[in-house]
Amino acid sequence: MSTDTTTPPLQAVVLAAGQGKRMNSRLPKVLHQLAGRPMLHHVLQALQALKPNPLVVVYGHGGQALPQAFAEAPVTWALQQEQRGTGHALLQALPHLQPEGTVLVLYGDVPLLQSTTLRQMLSLCQGQHLVLLTQQLEEPTGYGRILRTAQGTVCGIREEKDATAQERAITEINTGIMALPARHLAGWLQALNCANAQQEYYLTDVVSQAVAQGVQVLTVTPEFTWEAMGVNNRAHLAQLERIYQQRQAHQLLEAGVALADPARLDVRGTLHCAQDVHIDVGCVFEGQVTLEEGVQVGAYCVLRDCRVAAHTVLQPYCHLDGVQIGPANRLGPYARLRPGCVTGSGVHVGNFVEVKNTTLGDHTKANHLTYLGDATVGCEVNIGAGTITCNYDGVNKHHTTIGDQVFIGSDTQLVAPVTVEQGATIGAGSTIVSRAPAHQLTVSRAKQVTIPRWQRPTRKKP
Ligand code: UD1
Ligand code: CA
């Protein structure tokens, strides 16, 4: 389609005032999440690709929750106090619209609509015609049906509750998405009435008005059925979530990523993968995640906002959040890396090791049962099992500095602020409270004693 300057101006309205009773939730329906973002976010994203001005969202049920959740979005909010139907909802947006160009109407609970489908509707509409997004459904129950003349032109939409048995047999349904000529909108909306089964102002009644005024009514069918699928309950939402995830999985496969099972992957954000990345089952990716070439992600890892350099292996059940992992690391199983961690190359972080706001130099190892927080650890350091940085005094956090080639014996407590200098060795079981000098053994440990002739207590006879 042409995007030249002769294209009439585009205005958009998203209807999102409905309660969504069948979600059985306190949260307004369009705030329920699909792939980690509110449904409404998906709709706004598809629309923003078309740069409408204005972009009006009609809200109502749930009060200020919507405007608050989207405080940053370039959206004009129109309040619909009482939900009196889709026509009444669009009427609330009217004061924000100009009688010029095209008005696109979307639903906030139809989250997977593609921009390409919207573009197709706009190129047909041209600010002149009424364009409906319709589709054939084997099971049309619940939807408005498209009425056509013997010649096949659209002459109306009948809501299910107002339909005769014959009309209910029609399988072409109204998805609710439409593109309208802005200059007719005010007249059409003001002429709506609520003389129908639901006593609502039906937006769908603009169709018969258009026909009466000689405005052409055209239809577009989405490429995929799921694009126009709406969410009325949690089962619908779960179904659309699967469709969304399947599409992402197939895009990754095409890009050269090996997925153990495309049906067991969840991307709730953006996952960038270089070639030959391998992802095992059950992994969740949130925010912005980048996996460089040859990275292997074991089963049931959760990665959020992180970057993993080439050929690093994540064994099962790792949790990474806000970290930068160097190349050829070996993490897990059961490793937890929290925000602010940066690792060099060839680093090992083993099972039940938690690392927070810490830098680990090249070839450093912390293989078992350790907590490292607010620390700078050099290269080729060996951190023994059970070592912890005591970084928090109950009020403030303090830093631990560990030089290159340090060896920390098992079960050591490093009471921060403290420095262990290059090449130092710390004896197992030490509590280090002050500087441990370079290249020397530092140990703080109660002297071992054996009590002669000591006997175990015996059970007293009753
Ligand atoms: C509507 C259509 C129906 C279509 C169906 C597709 C009408 C009269 N009917 O029916 O032809 O097949 O969608 O799903 O338009 N909304 C408001 N304020 C209101 C009422 C609704 O903002 O007062 C919003 C809802 O939040 C939702 C959308 O409009 O996003 C559709 O509302 P819904 O109640 O689901 O419409 P249906 O009656 O199912
Ligand atoms: Ca609906």
Q: Which atom of ligand 1 is nearest to the CA of 59?
A: 22
* Cα–Cα dist 220/253, whole Å: 31
- Tell me the pLDDT tens digit for each residue of 195-232: 999 999 999 999 999 999 999 999 999 999 999 999 99
Q: Which atom of ligand 1 is nearest to the CA of 60?
A: 22
Do 10-228 and 248-442 fold alike per CATH?
A: no
**What's the distance, CA 88 to chain centroid?**
32
Smallest CA separation from ligand 1 atom 39, residue: 143
Smallest CA separation from ligand 1 atom 13, residue: 176
CATH of domain 248-442: 2.160.10.10
- Give distance in angstroms: CA of 105 to centre of ligand 2: 14
pLDDT at 6: 62
pLDDT at 363: 98
* Helical segments of 126-205, H only: 165-168, 182-190
Compute how many other C-beta atoms are within 10 angstroms of the C-beta atom of residue 451.
6
Catalytic residue among 129, 278, 368, 398: 368
Q: Which atom of ligand 1 is nearest to the CA of 84?
A: 23
Q: Chunked in runs of 10, what are the mean pLDDT values of the chain (462 residues)?
A: 65 94 94 98 97 97 94 97 97 98 98 98 97 97 97 97 97 98 98 96 98 98 97 97 98 97 98 97 98 98 98 98 98 98 98 98 98 98 98 95 98 98 98 98 94 94 85
Nearest to 178, CA basis, from 59, 86, 58: 86
Q: Number of helices (H) and strands (E) in the chain: give both, helices first.
A: 8, 34
Ligand nearest to the CA of 144: 1
Six-digit token pair at 139? Answer: 């099971």
- Whether 215 contacts 206, CB under 8 Å: no
- Whether 75 contacts 83, CB under 8 Å: no
pLDDT at 2: 47
Rg (CA), the chain: 31
* Cα–Cα dist 34/42, whole Å: 8
Tell me whether strands 388-390 and 413-415 are parallel, antiparallel or unpaired.
parallel
Paired with 370 in beta bridges are 353
> Is 42 assigned a catalytic role?
no
**Architecture of the domain made up of 10-228:** Alpha-Beta Complex (3.90)
* Cα–Cα dist 289/303, whole Å: 7
Domain extents in the chain: 10-228, 248-442
Nearest to 381, CA basis, from 398, 364, 357: 364
- Give distance in angstroms: CA of 220 to centre of ligand 2: 19
Strand residues in 2-150 grouped as ranges (E): 10-15, 33-34, 37-38, 55-59, 76-79, 102-107, 130-136, 145-148
Compute how many other C-beta atoms are within 10 angstroms of the C-beta atom of residue 75.
21
Compute how many other C-beta atoms are within 10 angstroms of the C-beta atom of residue 187.
12
- Whether 250 contacts 267, CB under 8 Å: no
| Residue carrying structure tokens 């270089």 | 274
Six-digit token pair at 155? Answer: 């002459």
Residues 6+ apart with CB under 8 A from 243: 112, 226
Tell me whether strands 37-38 and 33-34 are parallel, antiparallel or unpaired.
antiparallel
**What's the distance, CA 240 to chain centroid?**
13
- Give distance in angstroms: CA of 94 to centre of ligand 1: 17
Compute how many other C-beta atoms are within 10 angstroms of the C-beta atom of residue 448.
5
Ligand nearest to the CA of 29: 1
Paired with 180 in beta bridges are 103
Q: Is the dihedral of CA 201, 207, 208, 210 positive or negative?
A: positive
Choose one of 83, 86, 229 to mutate for the ligand 1 pocket test, by most ligand atoms within 8 angstroms of C-beta: 86
Provide the residue type at 223 as one letter.
E
Six-digit token pair at 419? Answer: 């420095």
pTM recorded for the entire structure:
0.93
Paired with 29 in beta bridges are none
Six-digit token pair at 348? Answer: 């090992």
The full length of the chain comes to 462
Residues having CB within 6 Å of any atom of ligand 1: 15-18, 58, 80, 83-86, 88-89, 107-109, 143-144, 157, 159, 173-176, 202-204, 230
